[in-house]
Structure 1
């Protein structure tokens, strides 16, 4: 190797080391760190922008091969449970099968006055622990029914009525389900009342004659336990947060607690005849109110006359009839039939039960008076002030509705709707 080549290699090595040192200095300099920080911030902003512009669930396209609404099929789990019960019963469809107690009424009694030569008399049933199994099974049945109707039947109905907001659609389906249920339970309750001696039409004396009422006709017992399953299922919905909260959520919870307490105590201490009257008065008025709310969400022109009918029925059923029942507890409760505590004879019509029954029904009446005030306030604002906005919803729901109206080119609050409290 010549001296000239050796000198060139040395100079090349010196230049490479100098370039490496310079790059290290630039990397450790403040300006370099600032440049790196700016790059990181820009990348972070870009990531956040992508998240902010991420399409919502309603805007996403359904993946190929997946049916629309699959992720919302909340009715599938209760359907599986109901199917399992039916399959287990189909293996041995007799009373000896334990599943029989879940599907059918238990404790059937033979009427000593039954004449085989005459027409068959209605069957009577007593009470016992297996009634809880019946209530449990039909709570699952109602859970499936509610979710299936709301998502597969009532949600398309909401779209057909022009309701596109997710929150309003949810409200509409909830109220329509209540309307559908009470459209069946209300007339059935009137039929049970008609078939019960001394109870038609809201006759209070018949609630206490012949006490204790330890056995009931099959239709009577089925209706009472099925209603118990409905209210327990409503409590499950409330606990799981499946319904959107409103401003009267505390009153709503109190109403459910009082109702379930009345159902359980009336069943245990043989006051189910009083419970029939309370069931009927609340089912019919609840159904009309649910129809009014549904018409309100659908912006129907029928909401005003139906609202007037709802208020009239509410006052008559929930206040006039229920106040008559409360008055009978103060008077006929102790005057008609035995009035003593006898655990052996299951005689519970005494001073303690009188106070407890009156207290729970009075608490229910107080809640109904609160909602009656809300109904009158809504009617006054609609007639006198022209305010037709539902203010029972939470603030965030109102903001969401306003955005939804703006996107669709509608003026927020431009619809003429009765404010349903």
Structure 2
């Protein structure tokens, strides 16, 4: 078993999976003046993620909730379902239980309605679900071709280390809390997104794809902050401001995800990178993950365009919370 694990470890870290032809892990050794990303750095993200979960809990309980109440956010009064062990056991299944419970069908339907409302997050909970963003200004943000200058021997900057650690820890913290957060209609898509995010950030760190990775993360958080602020204003009943911000968010999302991301990020990753090195496993793996993200962008963009069409044409006069549940939340890659 020991030799099997050793062989698997050697196979997993084979340099041809991580670096272009002509480079090995020996070329990424540190010196007194130059530091490179080390895979063992990723072990730090678990305690960081748990710390973020704790900070988020304390923030929601002692700051966001009292602040929300002072600003006028009030939870709706919801009727609890009366105790019924049989219905509780089979809750969630679309099967008629009227004969088993000896109840009219209408009463069973009403019970399920009450039981469903118990699981809905309160307005205060939604008000507390805010994200944070980190932004860095680097040359490759303006000229993506700079991502490949000197690759893979690009020194690790201290700020870039913390940027990656915080983004990856935040993505992992979101995954930890998905079972307790607001349930969304696109739960499966969110799971795919979080998994892709964690793999993408982890691989880009180990393979020193830091520049292109940071560019991807910056594009994603640019619209996430606007979405969270829009939701906050909506829960405060500031309709006009929330509608204006929703239009702003939609514009930023569609431009960054459907224009900037494919035309700048995907283009430089697919084509500009080959000026510096020949395609290898990491080239195909990285671009495959980026394409998964782009497919999710198209999916969420279609939902936003559908909402905009209804909103602009007067089909709906407000953006209801059920619509918010369809939008991407907590995206950081």
Residues 1:135 and 2:45 are matched in the alignment: yes
Residues 1:262 and 2:204 are matched in the alignment: no
| Match 1:371 to one of 293, 300, 308 | 300
Cα deviation for residue 160 of structure 1 reads 2.0
Residue 390 (structure 1) aligns with? 321
The aligned runs of 1:209-224 (5 Å cut-off) are 209-213=149-153, 215-224=155-164
C-alpha offsets along residues 218-251 of structure 1, whole Å, 9 cap, x if unaligned?
A: 111111122111111111112xx12021111111
Residue 237 (structure 2) aligns with? 299
TM-score by length of 2: 0.70
Query: Could you tell me how far apart the structure 2 residues matched to 1:127 and 1:155 are?
Result: 39
Residue 127 (structure 2) aligns with? 172
CA 109–296 in structure 1, closer or farther in 2 if over 3 Å, else same? farther
Residue 234 (structure 1) aligns with? 174
Query: Could you tell me how far apart the structure 2 residues matched to 1:393 and 1:380 are?
Result: 15
Whether the 8 Å contact between 2:171 and 2:198 is mirrored in structure 1 is yes
C-alpha offsets along residues 172-227 of structure 1, whole Å, 9 cap, x if unaligned?
A: 111xx21xx12xx1xxx333x2xxxx4141x2211111010353111111111221
Residue 158 (structure 1) aligns with? 68
Residue 290 (structure 1) aligns with? 228
Whether the 8 Å contact between 1:289 and 1:307 is mirrored in structure 2 is yes
C-alpha offsets along residues 121-180 of structure 1, whole Å, 9 cap, x if unaligned?
A: xxx532335413432332122112111111111111221232222611111111xx21xx
Count the aligned residue pairs.
251
| Match 1:110 to one of 32, 43, 59 | 32
CA-based RMSD of the aligned residues comes to 2.2
Runs of 5+ unmatched residues, structure 2: 1-28, 76-120, 329-333
Query: Could you tell me how far apart the structure 2 residues matched to 1:125 and 1:321 are?
Result: 31
CA 132–386 in structure 1, closer or farther in 2 if over 3 Å, else same? closer
Task: Using CA pairs under 8 Å that are at least 6 residues apart, name the structure with larger relative contact order, 1 or 2.
Answer: 2
Query: Could you tell me how far apart the structure 2 residues matched to 1:151 and 1:109 are?
Result: 46
CA 199–310 in structure 1, closer or farther in 2 if over 3 Å, else same? same
SS in 2 for 1:299: coil
C-alpha offsets along residues 275-327 of structure 1, whole Å, 9 cap, x if unaligned?
A: 10011011111111111111112111311211121112112222222112111
Larger Rg: 1
Runs of 5+ unmatched residues, structure 1: 1-106, 112-123, 340-349, 395-418
Residue 205 (structure 1) aligns with? 145
CA 319–110 in structure 1, closer or farther in 2 if over 3 Å, else same? farther
